[in-house]
Amino acid sequence: MQKMALSILLLNLFIAFLGIGLVIPVLPTIMNELHLSGSVVGNLVAAFALAQLIISPLTGRWVDQFGRKIMIVIGLILFSFSEFLFGLAQSVEILFISRVIGGISAAFIMPAVTAFIADITTIEMRPKALGYMSAAISTGFIIGPGIGGFLAEFGPRIPFFAAGFLAMFAGILSQITLKEPERTYEETEEKQVSGWRRVFAPIYFIPLMIIFISSFSLTSFESLFALYVDHKFAFTPKDIAIAITGGAIVGAIAQLVLFDRLAKWIGEIGVVRYSLIISVILLILMTVVTNYVNVLLVTFIVFIGFDLIRPAVTSYLSKVAGNEQGFVGGMNSMFTSIGNVIGPIIGGLLFDVKLDYPFYFAALVLAFGLLMTIRWKKPVESSIKLKENEIP
């Protein structure tokens, strides 16, 4: 029963973030249809994450007040509605409304799923389960553009209708199969307030900043990649889907085959450092390649760097967090959302100035993250368990 509940929860997250990614390969078509600028497209992508970031504090309290299951079901219904609305939209205003509703739906789903997982797992099992949660999010977000590109061959609005039906199916499945879990803990308001100060603890601050930097750079790259190759190389939605899906597959293989071995060999911090170096080099290479094959090769490999950073940081945080797994998971999600908001906005503004500028800036941000890792040291055993009274 526990495995079934966890599987359904992970499926819900995968579908939600799959829907976010579906929009990316068809953005050039919608951009041309509605005569949108690069900055508007960047804002459109960011609107989802911004709505999620703003509404999350409220929905976090509602999860405790009204229950986990009902919040998940409502979130999936809202998400389904937002996707249908996007598919029918004929104006930029409706597109923004759709993305905002989608962000609100994610704010319903994310804290509810996180709390549900915490309720049905033991402290020993929780880091592994939260790792699965991170994998479901990353996989959905990266594979989404690939599936969206293939579906777009049947029509530019088809990906959104497909996402809408998938979300509706997940909502119905959750309503039928999930049972409200027993509460295993109850955080007080005082505990939550002190948690904000713990963000600045040395063992948390640098890895959380790396999460922000990688999310910022990934969304800046991925949200504008379709526009970039459309304007510079005249890629079709199918070409875009091949590039991003290929990158997702290579990245997934790297996670499965390389990550555990690399983490044991050079440690999580070492994996992050080398992944940042790879990502910086390949983002710069993206601006100088001149043919279809080279674009595909660079795109395939750049995802290796991005896909190794998140599990490395998540693994590190799970080791140093001790009994603060929920706090770390929440902060991970928050810093990811902030990066998802800012990345597309800045990238869209830079895209309107010059096509290559978003990639240059993303590479610069990643380079700054690389400099931060120089001061990132593995904590000694005695400092792994952070006490509340150690934070000013």
Tens digit of pLDDT for each residue in 63-74? 777 888 999 999
37-40 LR contacts (CB < 8 Å, sep 24+): 37/348, 37/352, 38/224, 38/227, 38/348, 38/349, 38/351, 38/352, 39/345, 39/348, 39/349, 39/351, 39/352, 40/92, 40/348
Boundaries of every domain in the chain: 2-177+200-378
pLDDT of residue 390: 41
Q: How far, in Å, CA of 84 to CA of 77, rounded?
A: 11
Each residue of 347-387: pLDDT tens digit?
A: 888 888 888 898 899 999 999 999 988 888 766 543 444 44
High-pLDDT (> 90) share of the chain, %? 12
CA dihedral 286, 35, 220, 198 (to 10 degrees): 180
Each residue of 78-108: pLDDT tens digit?
A: 999 998 998 888 888 898 999 899 888 888 8
DSSP-assigned letters across all residues of 295-357: HHHHHHHHHHHHHHHHHHHHHHHHHHHTT-HHHHHHHHHHHHHHHHHHHHHHHHHHHHH-TTH
Are 75 and 109 a contacting pair, CB within 8 Å?
A: yes
Q: How far, in Å, CA of 245 to CA of 328, rounded?
A: 30
392: pLDDT confidence band, cut at 50, 70 and 90? very low
391: pLDDT confidence band, cut at 50, 70 and 90? very low
183 secondary structure, DSSP code:
P
Flag whether pLDDT at 148 surpasses 70: yes
Cα 317 → chain centroid: 17
pLDDT of residue 185: 47
pLDDT of residue 385: 45
Each residue of 222-240: pLDDT tens digit?
A: 778 878 888 888 888 778 8
Each residue of 11-37: pLDDT tens digit?
A: 888 877 787 777 667 767 777 777 777
Each residue of 270-318: pLDDT tens digit?
A: 889 999 999 999 989 988 888 888 888 888 888 788 878 877 887 787 6
Q: Which residue has the higher pLDDT, 74 or 120?
A: 74
In 3D, which of 168, 181, 183, 166 has the Cα closest to residue 73? Answer: 168
190: pLDDT confidence band, cut at 50, 70 and 90? very low
Are 335 and 208 a contacting pair, CB within 8 Å?
A: yes
Place of tokens 């890629």: 235
Cα 109 → chain centroid: 14
Q: At how many degrees (to 10) do helices 202-233 and 27-34 cross?
A: 60
Residues 6+ apart with CB under 8 A from 273: 370, 373
Domain 2-177+200-378 = CATH 1.20.1250.20: yes
- Least confident residue range of 109-123, 293-307, 325-339, 376-390: 376-390
Q: Is 194 helix (H, G, I), strand (E, B) or coil?
A: helix
Q: How far, in Å, CA of 56 to CA of 78, rounded?
A: 15
Return the percent helix, strand and coil in the chain, to nearest 5.
85, 0, 15
Q: How far, in Å, CA of 129 to CA of 122, rounded?
A: 10
- Least confident residue range of 9-13, 166-170, 188-192, 337-341: 188-192
Flag whether pLDDT at 75 surpasses 90: yes
Q: How far, in Å, CA of 319 to CA of 273, rounded?
A: 18
Q: How far, in Å, CA of 264 to CA of 318, rounded?
A: 15
Q: How far, in Å, CA of 288 to CA of 299, rounded?
A: 13
